[in-house]
Structure 1
């Protein structure tokens, strides 16, 4: 039996920043566009429907009242196995050509998890690409949400945990410095496990022997929490001082 989200005594942290660009586009009656870029969490893994397609119905439903004429779409630009440097190289085609109002950038896992023989980018290369990418997004007046790592057994081993914690902290620090928000997935999933006592057997894809990828249950609950945080951040956005921009 599925667990009702209201029965879970843990919720995602409120975004630090309002989503001003997205809010203004919705106020101007759209069309609003969200681009999700990242690796396997974004692209989808093991036949589990990826997270970006899941919050769309919820966002459309929640925005229908305050913005009855606006439309919103979520476009998935995930590629499994990639990390920030490779994703940054795709920005021109997979982000900027789509003219998004909001970009959700899921980042950090592969530089921690991938074994050395796969030549993963270093911590410095990943954080530098993240810094550069956020700067490019902000320069084009695009709202940004960074999504940090998943809390799963593959990242909690003695060989990985310190690297995982350092990456989570680095993402948080970059977001704070740049004035953008973080969807704190690591913290959320850890609280599900520690506080709500949800087992890893439920949180991790049962078909994934690496114990890295999230289950359908986790992906669904994460998407619902993400949608709620986006709605809250749009509702907190102040109106433009010069009035609502034209679409």
Structure 2
């Protein structure tokens, strides 16, 4: 993280909850992460998606642990469709940590699910994960990109970010605050959207290789910090 701090002064907010189950599994020498979501998770435009990079980053942080990161992203989906895949794409895989990337397509797609349908599906999904037991959960909110920052879409994007945060707070879950992180990169560190957004994406929706790489390292660092807190009983 020191190199990131030198490059620009904006870091992701630390997780509020320790990753107790993941820490226990890491201590035992093996751990499994399942990443479920849409195109950010699945990959878009030939850019290596964050789950692939997260595997590399976590293996750097835990060189003596057999870590798996299983990618269950499907482009274009949001929480209502992803919830229907939970049994096969989450629970059957017996994960120790689930990262659920949500919210963007409801804001961006004109014919996507309603705000209410998506937030209801998020609540139901996190409740299912809680009932399953022995699974740590990280919710990943929206990307801060021009496609969701138009005058018509930005209020809905900000409301979705707030709704995800509130659901996580109520359920004592962590949020990877991607929207705030990228907003800080753009507004505080003055990193242009030309660098933040995939130059081959005419929709101005998908993150660049640079953004994906930096975001994933921040995510890996937040996971490691929350794992350490759990291991030390903090």
Q: TM-score, normalised by structure 1?
A: 0.90
Shift of 1:239: 6.3
Question: Structure 2: which 5+ runs fail to align?
Answer: none
How far apart in 1 are the matches of 2:59 and 2:75?
27
1:105 aligns with 2:97: no
> Could you say what secondary structure the match of 2:143 adopts?
coil
User: Which residue of the partner structure matches residue 123 of structure 2?
Assistant: 131
How far apart in 2 are the matches of 1:56 and 1:87?
22
Of 233, 240, 245, 2:226 maps to 233
> Could you say what secondary structure the match of 2:139 adopts?
strand
- Structure whose alpha-carbon radius of gyration is higher: 1
User: Which residue of the partner structure matches residue 177 of structure 2?
Assistant: 184
User: Which residue of the partner structure matches residue 49 of structure 1?
Assistant: 48
User: Which residue of the partner structure matches residue 243 of structure 1?
Assistant: none
User: Which residue of the partner structure matches residue 146 of structure 1?
Assistant: 139
How far apart in 2 are the matches of 1:58 and 1:123?
34
User: Which residue of the partner structure matches residue 88 of structure 1?
Assistant: 83
Shift of 1:62: 1.3
Show the 5 A alignment for 1:29-48: 29-30=29-30, 32-48=31-47
Of 202, 205, 217, 1:212 maps to 205
Question: Structure 1: which 5+ runs fail to align?
Answer: 241-247
How far apart in 1 are the matches of 2:66 and 2:231?
20
> Could you say what secondary structure the match of 1:58 adopts?
helix
Q: In 2, are the aligned partners of 1:24 and 1:239 still within 8 Å (CA)?
A: no
Q: TM-score, normalised by structure 2?
A: 0.95
Structure 1 residue runs of 4 or more that deviate by more than 3 Å after TM superposition = none
Shift of 1:238: 4.4
> Could you say what secondary structure the match of 1:16 adopts?
coil
Shift of 1:120: 1.1
How big is each residue's C-alpha offset from its partner over 1:190-218, in whole Å with a ceiling of 9 and x where there is no partner? Answer: 00001111000000011111111100010
Shift of 1:61: 2.0
